[in-house]
Amino acid sequence: MNRFIRQFSVYWAPLFVWMGVIFWGTSLSGGFVGRFDTGVPFAFDAAHVVEFAILAALAYRAFRTWEGFPSLPALWGAVAAFTVLYAISDEVHQSFIPGRWPSGADLALDTVGGVVGLALADVLLRGRA
């Protein structure tokens, strides 16, 4: 298999699929999302952290394949910036969905999730090809 196709399908496609999953979830109306309210405090907060931890981990995994990063701090900065920018776009997207609205608290939770995912991915993947 061509190196580019393998690299895309193994490293980049999962990132793009996960971005699509987040976009789809954000596209659900407020009434639909409310049906999943379990009454458990902080359940939706945890969902924000987990979904963006996964996004950051997948981004870290994909970005590592790009040889344009001169250092680990540059890689971390690119992944962090990507994750926060996607979180911002997610909140803007919500503003167009009936029954949904952008939230600074959600953006903060997304950012926390991104940092957690980035740190975990770095620990688990450092030293691996």
Domain boundary assignment for the chain: 3-125
pTM, entire model: 0.85
Residue 39: alpha-carbon gap to chain centroid:
25
Q: For 32-83, how does the pLDDT look when each residue is reduced to its tens digit (9 = 90+)? A: 445 455 565 556 788 899 999 999 999 999 999 888 778 889 999 999 999 9
DSSP string over 32-64: HHHTT--S-TTHHHHHHHHHHHHHHHHHHHHHT
